A and B are shown apart, each in its own frame.
Chain A
Amino acid sequence: MLTYTLRRLLTAVPTLIFISFVIFLLLELAPGDPLADQPLTIPAEVRERMRTAMGLDEAAHVRYWKWLVQFVWVEPQVILDRWLGTSMAEGELRILSWQFRAPVFDIIWQRIPQTLTVVGIAYVVGVMIALPIGIVSAYRQYSWFDQIGTFVSMVGFSVPTFFTGVLLIVIFSVNLGWFPSIYDTTLRVTDWPSFVRQVSQMVMPVAVLALYNAAQISRFMRSSMLDNLNQDYVRTARAKGMGETTVVLVHVLRNSLIPVVTVIALGVPTIFAGAIITEQVFKVNGLGQLLITAIQANDLPMVQTLTFVFAVLIVTFNLIADILYGILDPRIRYD
C-alpha cells in the first residue's frame, strides 16, 4: 500500500507539470494582446515599459519557468511564513494578478471561505440526503418510493443548475419574497438575526447544488446496495437469526459504502467547477466568480493559476479516492 501510494504520488507530479504546461500553451497560443484595452494614446515606449513591467517581453519558456517556480516554491513559502511567522519568502516575487495588482493567492484566500461555505455545505447536505434515499430505494426495489426516487434523480441531473437556480429565484424571491436572490458576502454573523439572514441567503444556492449532487450519489448508493443485497453473506447473516436492521444497516451498508465513498471523493473537485454556474446565478463572489471575471478581464496569471488549482484538486482527490478504496476494501491489493 505504501509503495503504491508513493508510486502514485510520483506519477502525479509529471501529470501536474504537463497539465500546467498545457494550460500555459493554451493561453500562450491564443491571439490577443493583454494591453489591447489600454488607451491608444499611450506612447510606444511607455507601452513597451508596461509590457516589461508585466513580464511580457521575455520568451515564453522563461515566463513558464518563472510561473512554475513561483507556484511550487515561492507560494508555499508564503503560506509557511504566515503559519510559522518566519520570513522565508521575503523579497521574492509572487504571482501577480493584472487586474487587482495584488498577489493572486491573497485574492484566492479571500474568496475560498465564500465558496467553501456554500459549496461545501451543499455537498454535505447532498450526501446526507442521497445516502438514505439510496438505501431505501434499493431495499424496496421497484416500490413506489423507488420509482419516485428514480424519476426525481433523473430530473435532478437532467435539469441544469442554472435553470433550477433561476426557477428558485422566481418562486421564492420574486413571488413569495422568502429568501434574498443575491448572496451578501459582507454579512458578518455576530448575533441571532444576522445568523438567520445568513441561513436564509444560503438556502437557495445550497438547495440547488445539493439536489444536483444528491441525484447522482443516490443512484450510486442504490446500485451498490443492490449488488450486495443478494450476496451469500447476507443470507448467512439472516440465517443466523440477526435482525433485519442489523443485516441491512451494518452488514450490507458497510460493504456498499466502499464504492460510494470513492465516488464522493471523486466528486469533490467537480463541485468546485460546477459551482462556477451556481455562484454566477446567486452572485456569490467565490472562486468560480473570480475565474469568470478574470477571464473577462484577460487577467492571464489569475486564469492560469486558478485553472491549475482546479487541476491540482482533481489529481489530489483522484489519488485520495484510489487510496481510500485500497484501505477500505481488503480485497483490493495494489502491490
Chain B
Amino acid sequence: MTELAPAPAVEAALRPPRSQWRDVWDQFRSHRGALFGLLVFGSIVMFSVVGPYLWTVDPKFIAIRSRDLGMSWAHPFGTDQLGRDIFARMMAGGRVSLAVGLTAMALSILLGTLIGVTAGFFRRLDGLLMRLTDLFLALPLLPLLLVMVMLFRESLARQFGPETGIFLLIVVAIGVTSWMQTARIVRGEVLALKEREFVLAARSIGTPPRRMILRHILPNVLSPIMVSATLGIATAIITESALSFLGLGFPPDFPTWGRLLFDGVDYLQQFPERVIWPGVYISLTVLSVNFIGDGLRDALDPRIRGR
C-alpha cells in the first residue's frame, strides 16, 4: 500500500544518459537541408558503387554501329561517339571521382591534423610549422597543381601503370595542397584546449605527450576535423574535375565525371545532354556534401545543440 510511483524527476534521473552521438544525430535531423543532402549523397554513392552490379554493361565496350544514340530503355543516357553506354560510363566515372575525393580528403585531413596538433601542442615547433602553413597558403595552387600533374604524369604512369599512377598523382597533389585550413583550425582548438583544467590534471599525473594527444586532445578537436573533412570531399571532387576538364586529369579511356564533361564539350551543339549529365552529377554531389557539412557544423556545436 505504501508503494509510491516514483516521481517523474527521479525517473528521468535514473534513465541511462543519452549518448552524445544521439544528441548530434537529433540536431542533425532537424536541419532539413543537411538531411536532404545526406539522402542525395547516399543515392549518388549507391548509384556509383552498387549500380555497376545491376547495370552490367561494360563502360569501355565500343559498339561503333550504335553510336550517338539518344535516350532509350537499352541506353538510358544514350551512347557516345564510339557507341559506349553513357549510363555505365557515368557509374564508372562516379566511382573514380568519389574515390579521388575521399582519398584526397583523407590525406589532407591527416596532414592537417598532424601539423595542427603538433604546432598547437609543442610550442617549440609552433612558429616553424605556422610559417610553413603561411607559405603554402601563398602558393598559387591551381597553377601548381596543373604543373605537377603535367610534369610527373608520364613517369608515374610508367611506374604504376596508367590508371594507378595518375590516381596516386592526383590524390597526392590535391592532398598536399589542401591541408592548410584544417591545420590552422586544429591548431587554434588545441591551443585553447591546452589551457583547460582537465589537460592540467592529466599533465599533473604525469601523462606522456603521446597519450595526452591521443586520449585528451584529439577526441576534443574531432568536431572541427569532421566538418572540414566533409567540406574537403567537395573541394577535392571539384579540383579533380577541374583538372580533368583542363585535359590534365585521367587518360581519355578512363572515365571520371570531369573527363566525361570535357569530352562532351566537343559535341555541345548536337548532344548537349552529354555535358549536362556529368555536370549535374558533380554539382549535386558537391552541393549535397556542402549541405551535410553545414548541418554537421550545427549538430556538433554544443552551443547550438538542444535549442
Contact = CB atoms under 8 A, between A and B. Distances in A.
A314 B152 CA distance: 25
A98 to B, nearest CB: 15
Nearest to A315: B138
B283 A160 contact: yes
Interface stretch (B65-73, B76-84, B203-211, B285-293): B285-293
A277 interface: yes
A169 B265 CA distance: 10
B234 interface: yes
Interface string A163-174: 100110110001
Contacts of B238: 160
Contacts of A31: 151-152, 154-155
A158 B33 CA distance: 14
A31 B282 CA distance: 33
A217 interface: no
Contact of B138 (A26, A291, A295, A311): A311
Contact of B144 (A26, A315, A318): A26
Contact of B290 (A158, A167, A174, A314): A158
Interface stretch (A16-24, A203-211, A241-249, A256-264): A16-24
Nearest to B149: A295
A269 B140 CA distance: 9
B146 interface: yes
Contacts of B142: 273-274, 276
B140 A314 contact: yes
A50 interface: no
B28 interface: no
B143 A310 contact: yes
A189 B141 CA distance: 35
A13 interface: no
Interface of A: 15, 18-19, 22-23, 26-27, 30-32, 154-155, 157-160, 162-163, 166-167, 169-170, 174, 269, 273-274, 276-277, 280, 291-292, 295-296, 303, 306-307, 310-311, 313-315, 318
Given A159-B287, A174-B269, A273-B140, 17 more contacts: A19-B139, A27-B147, A154-B33, A155-B283, A160-B238, A160-B279, A160-B283, A162-B245, A163-B261, A169-B268, A274-B142, A276-B142, A280-B246, A296-B247, A306-B143, A311-B139, A318-B138
Interface of B: 33, 134-135, 137-144, 146-148, 150-152, 154-155, 234, 238, 241-242, 245-248, 261, 265, 268-269, 272, 275-276, 279, 282-283, 286-287, 290-291, 294
30 contacts: A15-B134, A15-B138, A23-B147, A26-B148, A31-B151, A31-B152, A31-B154, A32-B151, A154-B33, A158-B283, A160-B279, A160-B286, A163-B279, A163-B282, A163-B283, A166-B265, A166-B275, A167-B276, A174-B268, A276-B143, A277-B242, A277-B246, A292-B146, A292-B246, A295-B146, A303-B143, A307-B143, A307-B147, A310-B143, A314-B138
